[in-house]
Amino acid sequence: MKKLKFTEPIYTYHIDFVGHVNNIIYVQWLENARVKLLQAMGLSIAEIAEVDNILPIITETIIKYKKPFFLDNTVHVEVWVSEMMNVSAIFNFRFLNEKGEVCSTSQQKVLFIDKETQRPSRKIVKYRSDFERFLVDV
């Protein structure tokens, strides 16, 4: 239905010896985006873990770097759900600069497991309608 959009700052410690944002920072931005998306859904990872014994586990991360970010850039982040299954979801991300140029695209597969058994949990379907608010066909 819709994407969550926000900006991320670039700090001097994000810059590597080549002069652009280090690749590991993108992984941190992905984490921030997932948490912000769940919050926009009205969900809390801590609450889901406590109430439903569900933990989200990242099983796959794909990052495609198209253009570098530099210290003076503004990072515009877009995040959405492209697929919701019974025990997992696919999150998609785009990172754009202040000119609207796509600098990176990413995808993560999140598996929802039972906190005690460490096995996939179908309990996440309880929140399907929350995820579907941010479901976008790619």
pLDDT at 137: 81
Task: Provide block-wise average pLDDT over 10 residues at a time, the chain (138 residues).
Answer: 94 97 98 97 93 96 98 97 97 98 98 97 95 90
Is position 7 within any domain?
A: no
Structural domain including 87 reads 12-132
* pLDDT at 138 (0 to 100): 67
Establish if 2 belongs to a structural domain: no
Provide the CATH number for the domain around residue 16: 3.10.129.10
- Is 138 part of a structural domain of the chain? no
**DSSP structure class, residue 135:** B
Whole-structure pTM value: 0.94
- The CB density around residue 113, as the number of other CB atoms within 10 Å, is 20
- The reply to whether 128 falls in a domain is yes
* Total structural domains within the chain: 1
pLDDT on residue 77: 98
What order of strands is seen across the sheet that includes strand 4-8? 4-8, 75-84, 88-96, 102-114, 54-65
